[in-house]
Amino acid sequence: MQSRSEVTRQKILSSATRLFSLNGYDCTGVAEICDAAGVSKGAFYHHFPSKQDVFLNILNAWLDQLSSQMQNARLASQNVPEGLIAMSDLVDQVFQMSKNHYSLFFEFWIQAMRHPEIWQTAIAPYHRFQTWLAALLQSGINEGSIDPSISADDTSRIMIAMVLGLLLQAFFDPIGAAWGNVTRSGIKTMVTRISRRPL
Amino acid sequence: MQSRSEVTRQKILSSATRLFSLNGYDCTGVAEICDAAGVSKGAFYHHFPSKQDVFLNILNAWLDQLSSQMQNARLASQNVPEGLIAMSDLVDQVFQMSKNHYSLFFEFWIQAMRHPEIWQTAIAPYHRFQTWLAALLQSGINEGSIDPSISADDTSRIMIAMVLGLLLQAFFDPIGAAWGNVTRSGIKTMVTRISRRPL
């Protein structure tokens, strides 16, 4: 059972997610989050030092969940290229997130640009994720399953770009294409190009 | 020489671009745009029926400029794969746009999600651009320079995704990588994979 304190924390996070998505981060105040969550300002500040901290908690929880699912897909595969293909099946899950969550996700980029203190804190999880993917590609080079002439760093950025860019298009044009399939096909094209194993 | 009316129109567009980037679309009013541009509300509504129309004018001007530069790169090349590689040199120009413009660009996605009437109008230039790129890839298949087993539609979406996703990362982490080079390398990897010509 969740403690009362944890229930309060989750209420704040889910109300904030909804309000940020609906009205934007800048146009949402702590008072509105408290009203929507049915908690006092005292309770809010007991859990979070600031509105910005709420925002970063939402982001981190999302990235941590995604990383651990990707790690599991890798562990269940024989080699790195197969692991990457297995990870591409997680795409459907990401695409099935509500549109409200997408909106929050892009809002995050805008906030990071406007507020240097958000940027400094928020860049850490992005770097952690990109470094994790680059290390995975490097381990593929080391095990002989990935072309050693590629740059693991640049390739990790390009793969992240592909998924981000397809999310951006899916978010904007949800019925324009079978976005999950397009993404799997894009990842497979990249992985086939860098793999030394038949896929 | 520009007419006085055209000067007024440009003043409104440049003030709006700056304010939308700085404070966000929702938090910027027509009154503020008029103040910043030094024009009356009457002059504003003479040129634009609404704030939304200003936003769409900014977006369309940007996409039109990019399409015509890409068209020129194609016309100066021997075949489609070479044209695509030449187009990747335009990336530096896109990346050198001010951070303020980047911010506006991502703001646009959020606005399109929140306001169905923006979405309906704004999806047209995106579709025009994606259709143009798919037709270019199809003409490469027809001339025998591109692998006929690819889907021109899906590949156009994947290429757009790569550039969008790298812009997103560059915008967020400007000093983290030589983003222009990473993008050129990503495009070259994709084009090499689908090309039937040595590059």
> What pLDDT score was predicted for residue A52?
87
**Percentage with pLDDT > 90 across chain A:** 45
Q: What's the average model confidence in pLDDT over A22-46?
A: 93
- Residue A23's pLDDT band, with cuts at 50, 70 and 90, is confident
Task: Write the pLDDT tens digit of every residue in B148-164.
Answer: 999 999 999 999 999 88
Contact B13, B54 (CB under 8 A): yes
Q: What pLDDT does residue A98 have?
A: 47
pLDDT in tens, B142-198: 999 999 999 999 999 999 999 889 988 887 788 889 888 999 999 998 998 899 877
A164 falls in which pLDDT band (50, 70, 90)? confident
List the one residue out of A85, A20, A15 whose CA is nearest residue A52. A20
CA distances from A111 to A35, A47, A187 (A): 23, 22, 29
Q: CA-to-CA distance for A147 and A78, rounded, in angstroms?
A: 17
User: Is the pLDDT score of A14 beyond 50?
Assistant: yes
Contact between A156 and A135 (Cβ < 8 Å): no
Instruction: Say if residue B98's pLDDT is above 50.
Output: no
Count, residues in chain A: 199
The pLDDT-based confidence of A128 (bands split at 50, 70, 90) is confident
Residue with tokens 């695509």: B84
Alpha-carbon distance of A75 to A95, in angstroms, equals 23
Residues A154, B123: C-beta atoms closer than 8 Å: no
Q: Which of B19, B99, B133, B162 to mutate to test the interface with A (most CBs of A within 10 A)?
A: B162
- Residues 22-51 of chain B whose Cβ lies under 8 A from any Cβ of chain A: 22-24, 26-27
Residue of B nearest to A169 (CA): B161
B105-154: per-residue pLDDT in tens?
677 777 777 777 777 777 887 888 899 999 999 999 999 999 999 999 99
- B146: which strand partners? B195
Mean pLDDT, to the nearest integer, of A113-118?
74
Q: How far apart are CA B32 and CA B36, in angstroms?
A: 6
pLDDT(A44) > 90? yes
DSSP string, A122-190: HHHHHHHHHHHHHHHHHHHHHHTSB-TTS-HHHHHHHHHHHHHHHHHHHHH-TTSS-HHHHHHHHHHHH
Inform me whether the C-beta atom of residue A186 falls under 8 Å from chain B C-beta atoms.
yes
| Residue whose tokens read 């970063």 | A56
Closest CA of chain B from A4, distance in Å: 34
pLDDT band (50, 70, 90) for residue A99:
low
- Residue-wise pLDDT for A72-91, tens only, equals 999 999 999 999 999 988 88
Range A173-191 average pLDDT = 89
- Rounded CA separation A86/A96 (Å): 17
- Give the span between the Cα atoms of B94 and B98, in whole angstroms: 9
CA angle B172, B175, B181 (to 5 degrees): 95
Tokens of A180: 């999950």
Counting one residue from A and one from B, how many pairs have CB atoms under 8 Å apart?
144
What is the arithmetic mean of pLDDT over A81-104? 77
Cα dihedral A28→A31→A35→A41 (10° resolution): 140
Mean pLDDT of A14-24: 87
What was the pLDDT predicted at B39? 96
* Model confidence, pTM: 0.81
Q: Which helix (H) or strand (E) holds B130?
A: helix B116-143
Residue (of A104, A59, A94, A66) closest to A166 by Cα position: A94
pLDDT at site B102: 66
The distance of B118 to chain A (nearest Cα, Å) reads: 11
Per-residue pLDDT tens over the stretch B35-81 = 999 999 999 999 999 998 998 888 788 778 888 888 899 999 999 99
The position carrying tokens 């070259």 is: B188
| Predicted pLDDT of residue A101 | 66
* pLDDT exceeds 90 at position B94: no
Q: Binning pLDDT at 50, 70 and 90, where does residue A161 land?
A: very high
| Region of residue B77 (phi > 0: left; psi between -120 and 50: alpha; otherwise: beta) | beta
Judged on CB neighbours under 10 Å (0-12, 13-18, 19+), A194 is buried
N-terminal to C-terminal alpha carbon distance within chain B: 45
Find which of B28, B63, B158 to mutate to test the A interface (most A CBs within 10 Å of its CB).
B158
The dihedrals phi and psi of B146, each to the nearest 5 degrees, come to: -125, 140
Axis crossing angle, helix B116-143 with helix B99-114, rounded to the nearest 10: 110
pLDDT score of A100: 55
Confidence of residue B99 (pLDDT cuts 50, 70, 90): low
Angle between helices A116-143 and A152-172 (to 10 degrees): 120
What residues pair up with B195 in beta bridges, in sequence order? B146
DSSP code at position A3: -
